Amino acid sequence: MCVRDRLLTSCSSDDSDEQIIIVPEANNVKLADNTIHGKILTDSEGMSLYFFSRDTKEQSECSGNCKTAWPIFYTADLTLDDGLDANDFGVITRTDGEKQNTYKGWPLYYFANDNAAGDTNGDKIGNNWYIAKPDYSLMYAEAQLVGRDGDGNDQNFTSDYTPGDELTFYMTSSKGRTIYSFSRDTKDKNSFTAEDFSNNAAWPVFHIDIDRLPSILDASDFGTIDVFGTPQLTYKGRPLYYFGQDVERGDNYGINVPNPGIWPIVNTDTTEL
């Protein structure tokens, strides 16, 4: 057997009877099976990829020492395993000028302390780093809450819905859309949505079948209720909604509508009804 670069060559005594077989290169984004996390994204060598909860705006919030611990993943010529959709991938140009691949809007990283293919040592570090998966039903974000003041200008809020600067954890859809609860709802009871859904555009009911979750979330905390024939997801008994005026990825303008705290975000500190 002769080997030439990436070609495997079968050689007989007669050189004219040579067969050349091209050895296929591994895709540079693979869908690997992990005993703990199920299907995960890796590079061509099986090294795990990760999401960062602070990257809510489809830009990287990881630089300097963070970037040393969490090196960026980038390939110009994307090739994918079966089961991955090219439409879910993108490329951003970071503030440092480097390019980085994204998946469903989340920039992709390695973890420097993963030493071998299949390692997932970075999952849940700081409660804001999670193994990259194709089948998360929800994501767990960490960002500044931004509402609007009386003049319609952006205004920062803390986790207790007072004006100020603070990074707050909250749940989003898999593509980063903020999820809310309604402070006037009771356990497993939607008290906002009209029977004819005439107000649903303002606060659309949210539902998804729970499959895989970031490791900080517990599937047993979620349930489903029926709202006039439409399913709605609940968390700790609280019906979940989108805000109709959240247009861009990472928006959370609903936090002070009509007043702060009426429509709060949802995270692991949310109390059970």
> pLDDT digits over 123-133, tens only?
999 999 999 99
Q: Which residues contact 27 (CB under 8 A, 6 or more apart)?
A: 44, 79, 80, 81
Q: How many CA atoms lie within 13 A of 200 on its CB side?
A: 13
User: Which tens digits make up the pLDDT trace of 106-115?
Assistant: 999 999 999 9
pLDDT of residue 25: 76
The confidence band for 16, taking pLDDT boundaries of 50, 70 and 90, is low
| pLDDT score for 19 | 72
pLDDT (mean) for 8-18: 51
Contact 214, 221 (CB under 8 A): no
pLDDT digits (tens, 9 = 90+) for 127-186: 999 999 999 999 999 999 999 998 999 999 999 999 999 999 999 999 999 999 999 999
pLDDT of amino acid 10? 46
Q: What is the CA radius of gyration of the chain?
A: 23
Which helix (H) or strand (E) element contains residue 211? none
> pLDDT value at position 218?
98
Q: What is the DSSP letter of 254?
A: G
Q: What is the mean pLDDT of the chain?
A: 93
Q: For the segment 216-260, what is each residue's pLDDT rounded down to a tens digit?
A: 999 999 999 999 999 999 999 999 999 999 999 999 999 999 999
Domains in the chain: boundaries: 30-135, 139-256
